[in-house]
Structure 1
Amino acid sequence: MMGEHLSVSTSRLEGFEGLHQAVKGSHVDVMQLERGRLRGTLSHVGIGDFSLSIGAFNVGVRTQRISTEEKLIVGMLLSAKDRVTHWAFDMQPADVLVIPPSVEHDGVFHSGSSYAAIRLDLADLPSVFGGEPRLADPEAWLEKRHYRADDGVGMAGAQRLQQIVPHLARQPGALSEASAEFWKRAIVDCMTAPVAASLPRDDSGYLPSAMKLVRNIEEYLEAAGSRPVHVSEICSAFGVSRRSLHRAFHEVFGIGPVTFLRHKRLCAIHSILRQSRPKQTTVSEVALEQGFIELGRFAQYYRAMFGEYPSQTLSGTS
């Protein structure tokens, strides 16, 4: 299968003008508020027509954006030295902001800050959030909203976003179609976790028996072969929420679906490495293709699972 083109660019900011393209594909008017020379970095990740932007700067700025494009922007504040407001919302690190299509945006960063933002087509929401009808409905995203991050979920997503950019930068040229889909879902998942966590419990819907649901999912994973499958893909494919999926996997396996999928990806990597030769591939290439970005942690997971390091499997020296 043809893959999707991957582009990763990082530029140094030497003045507030560099923030005009703070969100890829969108123009922002910027005014500097705090004294001093603005310095920072601006990174854009493109996977096909999907984009992630991450920026960091050291002095306060005011940003304004008027757009006529039919794109939804979801932004996350990654860090802030001082107060940050968007519209009338006071932001804290890992909080999420929803900017609907064609809506004017007004933000004030009182001092140095960093942020992340993605642009989405409303038509793509049903496939992205198929397991959660309340998020899959485009109407739910047509009002500007602020979501306060849960301490654990939000910060974990914020940290992971900042790790994804440098690791994808090491992947030359293109991702396989399967890997591209996984990484797009992983990025969206990090960005929207506080939104999903804000939803009240909804246990009124029909849930198949845990065993039946898990067996159906295992058949789905078997048909997927060795490609990485993100948990949000499963939710979309089976029309179940994360909470329902978590409940079913714990009942059957005693572990959550994320852990189960990680173990499955580790097994796929083990098989690939056993069938490969050191001159044909590298551990980092295989790990990234299967959705692992922190190679140190990946090696720990791998050794705990198989009793050897991935390099030993590849070289046949275990």
Structure 2
Amino acid sequence: MVFREKSPIGAASLTGVELRSRRGGDWEKPPADVEAPSIRSMFDALDEARAFDAPAPSVARGQMILRETQGPHEAWAHASGRDLAITQLSPGACPGHLLRVNLGDMGFDAGGFDGDLRVRGSLSGKAFSIVSVLERDGALNQWGHKVDAGDILIIPPGGELDGRFQGRTAYAVVTAPWGLVMQRAEAFGWLADPRFRTETAVYSPPPQARAACRRVLRDCATLMRTMGDGVPASAIDILRQDLLDGVLSAVAEAREPAARRQGVLNAARIVRGAEDFVEGGGARQAVQIEDVCRALNISRRTLYRAFHDLLDVSPKAYLRLKNLSAARARLLDASHRPTTVTQVALDHGFWELGRFAGAYRTMFGESPSETLRAHGGLRR
């Protein structure tokens, strides 16, 4: 079954994970001359069935969501099993598109978005998440490390994304149970290393390996989009194997020490610590910079340098942006948890409602009441 939500662009125009920005730029088209044999044969079978008006294959699993998105919260934060805090750092819309498919105990996401975003939190508390950055046209970092197009992020169960996305980003995410990943990893040499099982890291495969991985991910995404009524049961096992082997094969090629970046660098560690302190303090606006510095045992200068190095904003400005984004996430969730603009503003430390409304409109291009009305909440 496919759920299509406000998607004026047809599925055929969203092949692979190619992102066409509203600002007119195009991502590089997936190569058409080389495809994985199993994916190619599935395309041939699908084309043949359509040519002879054969009945659509039955679907046991393979539920699919395909839609355009107007912001990062609807693409990531509300997905099942995820707990992500997303802070928009620059004003403006963050348009994108999203493909999400249920492959039984595995999941697959592919899509893209525009924006300048701080993203922190868990993609899955119980499963491995393997994130491939397919394209980017701005800076991207995770755990303080620079991430390039073609790099792969490994996040064990309970591990966190922790970084910043700038500009346009196209991505794919394979989520799989820990046991399944370990079983498949044993076929790839050094991936049986315990560090692979327990530590978040950025891997940079050599050019040929990263190109092959991107090709597999694009082919699988294209196939799923083409099967507009859902993925048939006969295709799911092939997709599961191709997706997991495709990303693990690329990671296995990143053998050199320079191809593996792990741990949280100092600036990222300071920003994380400041966020944790503020979140633990309850009254967000009441927290003073001096309180944060004392809690982290660092100087004011060190705190400001960390925030500017990682996010290009001061700690105080970031706290305000974080609260605005949290307020927007709450308003977007009003269909499930009815609320009012006043209540949301007060809950997130904004005591002057006029200033809150003005800052919200400047950041997100609409008033808080417009967001609330559009998502089925109550307004006062």
Alignment partner, residue 98 of structure 1: 154
Task: Give the aligned residue type for 2:120.
Answer: Q
- Distance in 1, matches of 2:218 and 2:68, equals 16
SS in 1 for 2:208: helix
Task: Give the aligned residue type for 2:165.
Answer: F
- Distance in 1, matches of 2:245 and 2:153, equals 14
Alignment partner, residue 54 of structure 1: 110
Quote the offset at 1:32 in angstroms. 1.4
2:253 matches 1:197: yes
Q: Paired residue for 2:237, among 158, 176, 181?
A: 181
Determine which structure has more spread, i.e. the larger CA radius of gyration: 2
Alignment partner, residue 74 of structure 1: 130
Cα distance change of structure 1 residues 30 and 8 upon mapping to structure 2, 3 Å threshold: same
- Distance in 2, matches of 1:72 and 1:86, equals 17
- Distance in 2, matches of 1:84 and 1:38, equals 16
SS in 1 for 2:187: coil
- Is this contact kept in 1: 2:184–2:245, CA < 8 A? no
Quote the offset at 1:47 in angstroms. 1.3
CA distances 1:142-163 after superposition (whole Å, capped 9, x unpaired): 0111111321220232243123
2:231 matches 1:152: no
- Distance in 2, matches of 1:186 and 1:22, equals 27
- Distance in 2, matches of 1:105 and 1:196, equals 21
Quote the offset at 1:174 in angstroms. 4.8
5 Å matches for 1:83-122? 83-122=139-178
Structure 1 gap ranges (5+): 201-318
Task: Give the aligned residue type for 2:69.
Answer: L
Cα distance change of structure 1 residues 61 and 159 upon mapping to structure 2, 3 Å threshold: farther
Cα distance change of structure 1 residues 52 and 66 upon mapping to structure 2, 3 Å threshold: closer
Quote the offset at 1:24 in angstroms. 5.5
SS in 1 for 2:92: coil
- Distance in 1, matches of 2:124 and 2:213, equals 29
- Is this contact kept in 2: 1:94–1:154, CA < 8 A? yes
Q: Paired residue for 1:10, among 58, 61, 66?
A: 66
SS in 2 for 1:28: strand
Percent identity over the alignment is 19
Task: Give the aligned residue type for 2:152.
Answer: V
Aligned residue pairs total 198
- Is this contact kept in 2: 1:74–1:191, CA < 8 A? yes
- Is this contact kept in 1: 2:126–2:158, CA < 8 A? yes
- Distance in 2, matches of 1:68 and 1:41, equals 21
Quote the offset at 1:126 in angstroms. 3.9
SS in 2 for 1:6: coil
TM-score, normalised to structure 2, is 0.47
CA distances 1:53-82 after superposition (whole Å, capped 9, x unpaired): 113112221111047722211111111111
- Is this contact kept in 2: 1:8–1:46, CA < 8 A? yes
5 Å matches for 1:258-273? none
Moved over 6 A (4+): none
- Is this contact kept in 1: 2:118–2:165, CA < 8 A? yes
5 Å matches for 1:132-143? 132-136=188-192, 140-143=196-199
Alignment partner, residue 224 of structure 2: 168
Quote the offset at 1:136 in angstroms. 4.4
SS in 2 for 1:127: helix
Task: Give the aligned residue type for 1:116.
Answer: A
5 Å matches for 1:258-297? none
- Is this contact kept in 2: 1:84–1:91, CA < 8 A? yes
- Is this contact kept in 1: 2:155–2:161, CA < 8 A? yes
TM-score, normalised to structure 1, is 0.56
Alignment partner, residue 297 of structure 1: none
Alignment partner, residue 257 of structure 1: none
- Is this contact kept in 2: 1:34–1:110, CA < 8 A? no
Quote the offset at 1:131 in angstroms. 2.1
Quote the offset at 1:8 in angstroms. 2.3
- Is this contact kept in 2: 1:81–1:111, CA < 8 A? yes
Task: Give the aligned residue type for 2:84.
Answer: V
